[in-house]
Amino acid sequence: SHIMSEYVRMTDTERDQIDQDAQIFMRTCADAIHQLRTEAHKGVQSPQVKEHRTAVLDFIEDYLKRVCKLYSEQRAIRVKRVIDKKRL
């Protein structure tokens, strides 16, 4: 209940800032993964090393996609609540 009381006190401006920061962070992570993927395929390496790096980057990219999906679902709930409040 303590966490919920802190949530209620958060302003819409603070929530908007968190949303903006989260979007920037997710975009930065996606760009970093893309850059790592590009660098991972440079140079001469054994097929096993290439396969390992590809698998690790695939896992990281999949994790980021799941985090982004969760964020989008939570944001949709927030938007729905705002719309519902305006209807009342």
Torsion angle of C-alpha atoms 46, 48, 52, 54, degrees rounded to 10: 70
Cα separation of 63 and 59, whole Å? 6
pLDDT in tens, 21-67: 999 999 999 999 999 999 888 876 788 988 999 999 999 999 999 99
Quote the pLDDT of residue 34: 95
Nearest to 15 by CA among 74, 84, 63: 74
Task: Show me where the domains of the chain are located.
Answer: 26-87
pTM: 0.76
In terms of pLDDT, which residue wins out, 24 or 86?
A: 24
Cα separation of 51 and 67, whole Å? 24
Quote the pLDDT of residue 22: 94
User: What are the contacts of 15-19 at 24+ separation with CB within 8 A?
Assistant: 15/78, 19/75
pLDDT in tens, 63-79: 999 999 999 999 999 88
